[in-house]
Structure 1
């Protein structure tokens, strides 16, 4: 029978030893992938720890779930479906990852172990560039000296000659026809044509250039990591053959300074997959690797699906009546529930 410690060992194999073996290693403060993430917003920083976050390393494991971000929804689904351990890509934190309560209370309640592997997983495989139609020639996971500021320089794969080819490749690989069909069915079942969904709304698009604009050399960036216009100019100066900037995981919208910098440099600018697709880009390879290394352990993938619905169309009439009553009687400055 596999144990949690075997998951930790498997993660070490997968990352080439980037994970931590114990909290003592974390407390030493010298591990390159134990990183404090902070925007300077008071009290909101989180320490990223690649490995076991909470749980008994000797606990037996029959079923693992891989997800992008642990939330209370993930923990609830894990508890309801017999998952023993959750491996999250993004850092895990009290309250933020567990419904506003302490992490220990929620994980203990359902006997679920929590593990994470974020920056330590980045740069291990060329899958994201491959899905976007180019082969990596060089890469950097801390460009400009900023840890996590990932950048790839690549050459278009055979069959990829235009921006339109990249768009069509992504549409096919990410099975967007399934998401569009699912959304159409949900609209039909609920009788709400206005429902919108992340995967469909955030599909790839072109900022600068046309579908038939030629592509040969690609600068692949991830704006949410802090990639700046200065980084862009430096990268193009270092790689003067670049003709296309490709932004993925996160994106920028019209008027952003990265777009204007690309325009000044005479480059195409294409936005690829958004963050919702990373569960397939990074999560699915990780899940497959864990399944290969942990014989006899079932591995499942938890996917997020977020929809937008006009507030007065949510649920049925009973739910709408409930919401109106709670808002009218308790939330509009009239009175609060008695504490006695």
Structure 2
């Protein structure tokens, strides 16, 4: 199977959202080709769902599904025989390839890379199901903002309280095992203060209690631009909403969103963080690929798990001595 054939596979999976002709980028034919910008000079990126870089005629040998392309992912691919990486998030030159050009790095290991992001959003109700509700309304551009996803859903029969949502998440994400892994690392490295991205951002109730009943959920993603004004508008459109569920990103207790929810008499609960999106979007995509791709093409998941370690506990004594030597001799320029 050739790389160019994978373009068609992803187009089928996304229902025709992938770029199959470069003309779609320049003419605005594809609504999923969007520019993301915070108006920081030179830092905007255009999402181009489909093949970002690679040889269309290359034979596919091994495919990795990832959330975000990184230099670590490129190195892991090169070391393990992966020659195609499908990343969920948009890919930008240098930013996703260790500060060097994609061409220079990917050509070194003969890797082709794809991205999907907005073209994959809204294809399935997975994030809702994981959190225990079934959407009856969805919008992936709420308020006219691309990527500002919002669902309104009814809870599943087995989910009756905020506590049921938390219990469901812990079981779905196998948090007992995640905590065991983190505990083992703390023991192995003799560092009780180690933390990781999987276990540090757990589900949390900001308004209400574990026994608070839940029936109709407004499911939002704060990092996409969902505001307190959007919340008030959504509540007016769907008065039956009793709970705000924030996932992928979350808010603090002093957030304007929490204040507005309290004003409107709503529960507020935070669910899974972005650190666990590989389970929500990456795993279904990988299984879909398994359906389409020949059995002899292996599919693997690249999972990101970030660990935090206090400076004093990081690394062996030898590498600490190295770092201190470099710092003292090359990086400190105190005026005498």
| TM-score category (smaller protein) | over 0.9
Q: CA deviation at 1:25?
A: 2.0
Q: CA deviation at 1:281?
A: 0.3
Task: Report what 1:326 is aligned to.
Answer: 326
Task: Report what 1:184 is aligned to.
Answer: 183
Q: CA deviation at 1:152?
A: 0.3
Question: 1:300-315 residue pairs with structure 2 within 5 A?
Answer: 300-315=300-315
Task: Report what 1:274 is aligned to.
Answer: 273
1:48 aligns with 2:47: yes
- Residue deviations 1:199-239 (CA, integer Å, cap 9, x gap): 11101100000000000000000011101111100000000
Q: CA deviation at 1:72?
A: 0.3
**5+ long unaligned stretches in structure 1:** 336-340
1:104 aligns with 2:108: no
- In 2, are the aligned partners of 1:7 and 1:290 still within 8 Å (CA)? no
Q: CA deviation at 1:334?
A: 6.8
Task: Report what 1:290 is aligned to.
Answer: 289
Q: CA deviation at 1:255?
A: 0.6
Partners of 1:204 and 1:46 lie apart in 2 by 31
Task: Report what 2:215 is aligned to.
Answer: 216
Partners of 1:4 and 1:253 lie apart in 2 by 44
1:128 aligned counterpart, secondary structure: helix
Q: CA deviation at 1:30?
A: 2.9
Partners of 2:238 and 2:220 lie apart in 1 by 14
Partners of 1:127 and 1:29 lie apart in 2 by 29
Structure 1 vs Structure 2 CA RMSD: 1.0
**5+ long unaligned stretches in structure 2:** none
Task: Report what 1:33 is aligned to.
Answer: 32
2:193 aligned counterpart, secondary structure: coil
Task: Report what 1:140 is aligned to.
Answer: 139
Partners of 1:281 and 1:137 lie apart in 2 by 19
Question: 1:191-230 residue pairs with structure 2 within 5 A?
Answer: 191-230=190-229
Task: Report what 2:151 is aligned to.
Answer: 152
- Residue deviations 1:144-178 (CA, integer Å, cap 9, x gap): 11111100000010110100000000000011112
1:3 aligns with 2:27: no
2:146 aligned counterpart, secondary structure: coil
Partners of 1:255 and 1:30 lie apart in 2 by 42
- Residue deviations 1:243-279 (CA, integer Å, cap 9, x gap): 0000001111121100000000000000000001110
- Residue deviations 1:4-52 (CA, integer Å, cap 9, x gap): 1121111101100001002222122332010011000000000100000
- In 2, are the aligned partners of 1:25 and 1:31 still within 8 Å (CA)? yes
Partners of 2:316 and 2:58 lie apart in 1 by 43
Task: Report what 1:114 is aligned to.
Answer: 113
Partners of 1:285 and 1:235 lie apart in 2 by 29
Partners of 2:207 and 2:253 lie apart in 1 by 10
Partners of 1:54 and 1:292 lie apart in 2 by 24
Partners of 1:177 and 1:311 lie apart in 2 by 27
Q: CA deviation at 1:316?
A: 1.0
1:241 aligns with 2:234: no
- In 2, are the aligned partners of 1:127 and 1:281 still within 8 Å (CA)? yes
Partners of 1:53 and 1:24 lie apart in 2 by 14
2:268 aligned counterpart, secondary structure: strand
Partners of 1:269 and 1:25 lie apart in 2 by 41
- Residue deviations 1:98-122 (CA, integer Å, cap 9, x gap): 0011111110011100100000000
Partners of 2:334 and 2:6 lie apart in 1 by 53
- In 2, are the aligned partners of 1:6 and 1:294 still within 8 Å (CA)? no
- Residue deviations 1:68-109 (CA, integer Å, cap 9, x gap): 000100100000000010000000001110001111111001
Say how many residue pairs are matched: 334
Task: Report what 2:81 is aligned to.
Answer: 82
TM normalised by structure 2 equals 0.98
Task: Report what 1:338 is aligned to.
Answer: none
